[in-house]
Structure 1
Amino acid sequence: MDTFFAIAFSFPTVIFSVLLCVAIVYWLISLVGLGDIEADGDIDASGDFSGLMVTLGLQGVPLPLVLTLLFLIAWLASYFAELLLGALVPDGFLHALFGLAIIAGALVMSVLVTAVVIRPLRPLFRRAYLPPLQKRIIGTACVITSATVTETKGRAEAILDGAHLVLQVRSHTPLAHRERAVLIEHIPDKNAWWVVPEAEFLAGESAG
Structure 2
Amino acid sequence: MFTIFFLEDMDPFYQNISSFPTVIFTFLLVITVLYWLVAVLGFIDIEFLDFDLPDPDGVGAQGDGLSNPEMLAGLMLRFGLHGVPLTIIISFIALFGWLISYYIVHFLFGFIPGGFVSFLVGIPVLLFCLYLAVMVTAVVIKPIRPLFKSSQYQAIKYVVGQTAIVRTSVVDETFGEAILEDGGAGLLLKVRSTSGETFSKGDRVVLLEHLKEKNTFRVISEKEFLGNE
Q: TM-score range by the shorter chain?
A: 0.5 to 0.7
2:16 matched to 1:7? yes
Q: Is the contact made by 1:39 and 1:125 (CA closer than 8 Å) also made in structure 2?
A: no
One of 25, 28, 35 as aligned partner of 2:34? 25
Query: Counterparts in 2 of 1:38-117, with a 5 A limit?
Result: 38=47, 41=50, 43-44=52-53, 46-117=69-140
Deviations 1:154-196 (A, max 9, x none): xxxxxxx638xxxxxxxxxxxxxxxxxxxxx99xxxxxxxxxx
Letter in 1 for 2:12: T
CA apart distance, 1:88: 0.6
The answer to whether the 8 A contact 1:41-1:63 is kept is yes
- Cα separation, 2, equivalents of 1:28 and 1:92: 36
Is the Cα–Cα contact under 8 Å of residues 42 and 59 in structure 1 kept in the other structure?
no
Q: 1:9 offset after TM fit, Å?
A: 1.1
1:132-143 alignment, distance < 5 Å: none
Task: Say what the alpha-carbon RMSD is for the aligned residues.
Answer: 2.8
Q: Classify 1:77/1:131 alpha carbon distance in 2 versus 1 (closer, same or farther; 3 Å).
A: same
- Partners of 2:108 and 2:84 lie apart in 1 by 34
Q: TM-score, normalised by structure 2?
A: 0.55
**Where do 5+ consecutive residues of structure 2 fail to align?**
1-9, 55-68, 158-172, 176-211, 214-229
- Give the aligned partner of residue 37 of structure 1: 46
Judging by fraction of residues, say which structure has more helix.
Answer: 1
Compute the displacement of 1:12 (Å): 1.3
Q: Distance in 2 between matches of 1:8 and 1:21?
A: 11
2:174 aligned with 1:162: yes
Q: Which residue of 2 aligns with 1:177?
A: none
Aligned pair count reads 141
- CA apart distance, 1:36: 1.0
Identity of matched residues, %: 37
TM-score, with normalisation over the residues of structure 1? Answer: 0.61
Determine helix, strand or coil for the equivalent of 1:77.
Answer: helix
Contact 2:97 2:130 (C-alpha < 8 Å) held by counterparts? yes
Task: Specify the code of the residue in structure 2 equivalent to 1:37.
Answer: I
Secondary structure of 1:41's aligned partner:
coil
Q: Could you tell me how far apart the structure 1 residues matched to 2:153 and 2:132 are?
A: 28
Query: What letter matches 1:36 in structure 2?
Result: D
Which whole-Å deviations, capped at 9, do the CAs of 1:55-114 have from their partners, x for residues lacking one?
Answer: 110000010000000011111111100000010111233211211121011011001100
CA contact (8 A) 2:49 2:87 kept: no
Q: Which runs of 4+ in 1 moved over 6 A?
A: none
* SS in structure 1 of the partner of residue 43 of structure 2: coil
Q: Distance in 2 between matches of 1:118 and 1:5?
A: 30
